[in-house]
């Protein structure tokens, strides 16, 4: 697995031991984070955070709004470098956000391969779109896509990069309930097929338990709780074990269900 190199973008007079750095991932990790700290002015969003993600592992990240979930994801995506600590991430990574972020002046297939080196490869784009079930929409403009189709195009754009680490920042949050269920099933199928590591940021506890090998709860800028989901797939939300895990995670999030 190749790894990326993140240059130090902290202030030059900052002590060397506090500067951010990204080195080759050791021990077969898709991501390895040690002592990660991120401040916005006086506000400390990430506080000496540690995290490991194994190759092929599906990890879900829960937490209240403002707890630092999306900030952590942006750091792993190399979109935020104003950090202290050590961040080691596989070089082949891709991101899908809550908003599909498709360029309206490019057809869907051109959006999928946007940013890839070399000439735009329509066959490669169509193959990725076929994986997410919308190859028939390859030549249309993004404005005619439904919300679910646009999110599928965003997933195709991530998959075409053949990532070792796929970062998903609440990609289903804007979808209606039925489309969301279909999108969750699609992500589960794609993960089983590609076996890249996944970090899914979500507010939905049920979604996290349905999809992940491991669920993390963030509080006050750190990983406050870790739950391994040792249930066979596909998972049944009506299963007693599913209910117990869900209740426990909700408790860590400060939500207590009535008995």
> What pLDDT was estimated at residue 65?
86
Q: How confident is the model at residue 259 (pLDDT cuts 50, 70, 90)?
A: low
Answer yes or no: is pLDDT of 20 > 70.
no
pLDDT digits (tens, 9 = 90+) for 115-174: 899 999 999 999 999 999 999 999 999 999 999 999 999 999 999 999 999 999 988 888
Ranking 24-28, 70-74, 120-124 by mean pLDDT, the lowest is 24-28
Q: How confident is the model at residue 8 (pLDDT cuts 50, 70, 90)?
A: very low
> What pLDDT was estimated at residue 57?
97
Q: How confident is the model at residue 12 (pLDDT cuts 50, 70, 90)?
A: very low
Answer yes or no: is pLDDT of 54 > 90.
yes
113 vs 65, higher pLDDT: 113
> What pLDDT was estimated at residue 258?
66
pLDDT digits (tens, 9 = 90+) for 230-250: 999 999 999 999 999 999 999
Report d(CA 195, CA 197) in Å as an integer: 6
The pLDDT mean for the chain works out to 87
Tokens of 201: 């940021």
Q: Give the total residue count for the chain.
A: 259
Residues 194, 92, 217, CA angle at the centre, nearest 5°?
A: 75
Domains, the chain, with CATH or none: 55-80+91-252 (3.40.50.300)
In terms of Cβ atoms closer than 10 Å to its own Cβ (0-12, 13-18, 19+), residue 209 is buried
Tokens of 164: 């070792």
pLDDT digits (tens, 9 = 90+) for 106-115: 999 999 999 8
C-alpha dist (Å) from residue 137 to 63, 192, 199? 35, 24, 28
In terms of Cβ atoms closer than 10 Å to its own Cβ (0-12, 13-18, 19+), residue 164 is buried
Contact predicate 92/145, CB 8 Å: no
């Amino acid at each position: 697995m190749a790894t990326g190199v993140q240059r130090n973008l902290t202030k030059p007079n900052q002590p060397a031991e506090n500067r951010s750095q990204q080195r080759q991932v050791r021990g077969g990790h898709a991501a390895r984070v040690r002592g990660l700290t991120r401040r916005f002015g006086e506000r400390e969003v990430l506080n000496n955070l540690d995290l490991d993600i194994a190759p092929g592992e599906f990890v879900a990240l829960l937490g209240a709004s403002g707890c630092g979930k999306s900030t952590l994801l942006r750091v792993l995506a190399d979109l935020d470098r104003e950090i202290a600590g050590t961040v080691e991430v596989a070089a082949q990574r891709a991101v899908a956000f809550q908003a599909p972020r498709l360029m309206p002046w490019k057809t869907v297939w051109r959006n999928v391969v946007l940013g890839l080196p070399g000439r735009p490869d329509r066959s490669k784009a169509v193959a990725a779109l076929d994986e997410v079930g919308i190859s028939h929409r390859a030549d249309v403009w993004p404005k005619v896509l439904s919300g679910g189709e646009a999110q599928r195009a965003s997933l195709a754009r991530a998959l075409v990069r053949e990532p070792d680490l796929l970062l998903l920042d609440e990609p289903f949050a804007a979808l209606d309930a039925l489309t969301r269920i279909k999108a969750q099933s699609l992500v589960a199928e794609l993960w089983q097929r590609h076996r890249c590591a996944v970090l899914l940021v979500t507010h939905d506890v049920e979604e996290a338990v349905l999809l992940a090998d491991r669920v993390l709860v963030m509080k006050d800028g750190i990983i406050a709780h870790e739950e391994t989901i040792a249930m066979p797939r596909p998972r049944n939300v009506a299963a007693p074990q599913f209910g117990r895990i869900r209740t426990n995670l909700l408790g860590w999030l400060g939500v207590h269900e009535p008995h």
